[in-house]
Structure 1
């Protein structure tokens, strides 16, 4: 035993001894249920990525142990997932000559692990915010449809190939939309049985359906000698003995795969964190974002050195772990043990498994998670975000995953800038009989003659501060004819949490702009930290107005304490 393995074994032994018999029993049973689903999925997703099926099994062993040691979620099921398989397939499509897909997958896994490890070291937990909810929904929908379309040729025995819709359509046209009867029969029958199992079987039995279908298909294919009828089989697999592997070290290969690895790492972290946090809320638990980065980094590095492929948290398997009663991350350890046992038992029988049956398991699994309701809800709530969601899905389907993610992030930033480019300022008046001030467009209020009361509803930052004077002037231009001339403008600043240097300059410009018109600028209810920064900038050199502790005081009084005194009190 080498020294590197001793901490692993010591940690696992300690965690096993600390668990109660009931907790251990719950973890073992949950792991058994998930393993039954993971076996066909790991084979299918490896095939989807253009890799030998056994690569999926390798990616379901040591990575699970690594996440159990360094992750934080007791129910996040790490392993091969459909969306990552699609991204891996697209990344491996442009490998240089002499580099096999399996070797490319090891490099990708190593790069993903190192990127996540670097993000954990730099505490870049905020990486998850790069993908907004519309972008994430659009990406998942587009990826789901792309995966389903890519498996149709395999399901029907067609020579067509491709992932993006235009390429797949062109390939199908060039083959004359050919298909193979026996292969299509196996694939369509498998789809029907899986759907029937989901519809008619109890949940516990329905979870066993994919594994039962694989066993039934292998038996039927062997008994019927379907290979002689032209049905494509998985074929003889190499001996499934887990061994240490080293990724290739050519700098050019690593550089070429780096952009794809960066996107895969981002999707790995964001999608896994979304799943882990969603299930943690159901269980009344908390997920540590930093620990998730470390756990996923360790899982991918283990995959890179054990002949696997990039891995992430699976939504379907994680929900299954939760529903099956998983108590701790030890359930992942038991999943790995069951997968190791399956590797030894299934190496021979898997050779006779029809590929169309694996394609059917992918189709049914991914399409079961297809949801269009978020598009409807987004359209009702914010049409710009709904269009962004649909655009990302269309780009994934018709162009590429990397382009969709890049344009999705840029689109989210553009929408953010559009929303914040003009500060929201409300004209406010006094609610009769109170000292409360509300928007004149929403409440029956009284306005103070000669004093314009405005509320700034967001921080003054470089994204919105430039138009502050223009917005305030627009209110001055719309005063009622014959009304008492304005003498002062009082800005209610309580919603303002921060003023950056651009905001400070905008405030100074507004002050000068009003002074030229014979108006005085006053502020009310400025937060202490904001006042501290203003005072540090020595703003009293140019600010000639007053700062009031309450907006009501600023509206009804013509004079108050000096600015410096109120700054000290705040």
Structure 2
């Protein structure tokens, strides 16, 4: 027990070192006061520790979420500050995630395929880096997409002193990455401390924008601004941020749970994220999510329980008490440099190359989502990712794969005739159905089977039976059942019998429940080899029911 507490305490201290500069940077990236990021790293962590399930999910402000928050808060009604809008946004994200947990909608995480998610994250990474260039250069340009940023940059100007601060900071951070992982982790905080000291005690930061004075540690516990019109305006953005929060956080926690041999509860993750965001909405914070870099750090630092997050929050509170004054002298170009180096460190073009080589349609989806983030908006990109993922799924399953199979000589194994040298009998067309038969592909079943029958007829002669190897079929819905019935009728019109082999138990139970095999006079075999060898002595359904076990 003592060793667990010691491990969690050390892990909490290590992650807090990384979280201090990230909290400041991501709040600034979202267009919010720096303290919003710090407040989002206190009580929300405690809320997740109570309701979540992962001991190593590094919760807090996140780069991608910060970009989404920036776009969500654009065009707020007059008199509504970004801070007030961020609190409403966090409360709405928490409420939506809580509703999803109540309705057990943890399957929502599957709405974004990996290519869509990677395309979104890569696009957000590039946009975040581009968005920090004006801060690095001391420019007044701004924009949440490349076109708006470029248009603003034409009139923004730049300051050589700010560019020098930002350039030196980037070079130092890049150099620290060559000194090993431990140095790279400590470098951002060390750089911020050094920059604050130089700015406070020398004239070198004259004319460079600084963070400014932070308020004393006093959590502003209060309900978010209640304005029905504002809540309605931010609701669509909150839904997209909530989806992204859950998908990315679950992906991080699941990957680490597998490494650690732990069981993760997606429903508990929903509850934990919902609680954390609702608490952020009433404690002066901003929407929060899991961070891969912080989660990996928690894991490698030896965190064993969610007490590590409690210690992270405690160290963050201590940092607020000790650093509130010095942080006022922190040059913004240095803070922007930590953002640029951090986010670009996770960018790689390898994912695009792999996706293009493996499946070009998925590679195109990844590129399209990235382009939408850069040229349109994060909301449109996220919607495109969801729609594109579903569309690719429907496209893949719209035509069932039906392979003509034959016996590997000297064995009882049956393989695709297009891939193996196999033996086929003239009187029987052996086919393997490689999909579940559902409404998305049912309409193509009859044509696919009849095409294979025509191929067999040309090569081997007139068949008497079509034997479907049903082993890969995990489910048959009503549309699939009707398609099988139409297939049986189409084959009967040509004088060919329809037979099944190796039907899985749950599928067979459903067929037997409605007496489908008997009514359609479809023969059933325990193995495909048995069906091929049976010839004219095919078992009728009643005999098959007697011989075959309940679960095949």
Give 3-state SS (helix, strand or coil) of 2:498's partner: strand
* Stretches of structure 1 lacking an aligned partner (at least 5 in a row): 1-18
Match of 1:78 among 48, 59, 62: 59
What aligned pairs does 1:288-303 form with structure 2 within 5 A after superposition? 288-303=265-280
Q: Secondary structure of 1:433's match?
A: coil
1:529-544 aligned within 5 A: 529-540=506-517, 542-544=519-521
Quick check: 1:133 aligned with 2:114? yes
Shift of 1:532: 2.2
- CA–CA separation in structure 1 for the residues paired with 2:102 and 2:374: 35
1:189-218 residue CA offsets vs partner (Å, 9 max, x unmatched): 111111112223x43333222111111111
Shift of 1:518: 1.6
Equivalent residue, structure 2, for 1:499: 476
Which digits, 9 at most, give the CA deviation of each residue in 1:30-53, with x for residues without a partner?
Answer: 211111111111011001000001
1:182 to 2:161 alignment: yes
Q: Which residue of 2 aligns with 1:6?
A: none
Rounded to whole Å, the distance in 1 between the matches of 2:349 and 2:446 is 43
CA shift in 2, pair 1:134/1:482, >3 Å: closer
CA deviation after TM superposition for structure 1 residue 541, in Å: 6.6
The answer to whether the 8 A contact 2:517-2:523 is kept is no
Deviation of the 1:424 alpha carbon: 0.6
- 1:156 equivalent in alignment to 2:137: yes
* Residues 177, 183 of structure 2: 8 Å contact kept: no
The residue aligned with 1:212 is 190
Tell me what 1:462 maps to.
Answer: 439
Name 1:446's counterpart in structure 2: 423
How do 1:122-271 residues align onto structure 2 when only pairs under 5 Å count?
A: 122-175=103-156, 178-200=157-179, 202-225=180-203, 229-271=206-248
SS of 1:38's equivalent in the other structure is helix
Match of 2:22 among 33, 41, 66: 41
Change (3 A) 1:453 1:344: same
Under a length normalisation based on structure 2, what TM-score does the superposition of the two structures give? 0.96
Aligned to 1:488: 465
Mapping for residues 266-277 of structure 1, pairs under 5 Å: 266-277=243-254
Contact 1:27 1:328 in 2 (8 A): yes
Partner of 2:336: 359
Q: Secondary structure of the equivalent of 2:54?
A: coil
CA contact (8 A) 2:211 2:327 kept: yes
Q: Aligned pair in 2 of structure 1 residues 207, 432: CA closer, same or farther (>3 Å)?
A: closer
* Alignment partners' CA distance in 1, 2:416 and 2:479: 27
Secondary structure of the equivalent of 1:479?
helix
Q: 1:476 aligns with which of 443, 446, 453?
A: 453
* Aligned-residue offset at 1:483: 4.1
Structural RMSD (CA): 1.6
CA apart distance, 1:226: 5.1
Show the counterpart of 2:543.
565
* 1:299–1:311 CA contact under 8 A, matched in 2: yes
Q: Secondary structure at the match of 1:237?
A: coil
Instruction: Give unmatched runs, 5+ long, in structure 2.
Output: none
Q: For the residues of structure 2 that align with 1:284 and 1:552, how far apart are their CA atoms?
A: 41
Q: Which residue in 2 is equivalent to 1:121? A: 102
CA change 1:301–1:434 in 2 (3 A) is: same
> Which of residues 308, 322, 327 is equivalent to 1:345?
322
What does residue 383 of structure 2 align with?
406
Provide the C-alpha distance between the structure 2 equivalents of 1:190 and 1:482, rounded to a whole number of angstroms.
72
C-alpha distance 556-327 of structure 1, shift in aligned 2 (>3 A): closer
Q: 1:524 to 1:186 in 2, by over 3 A?
A: same
Contact 2:96 2:239 (8 Å CA) reproduced: yes
CA-to-aligned-CA distance 1:42-72 (integer Å, 9 cap, x gap): 0110010000011111111101111112211
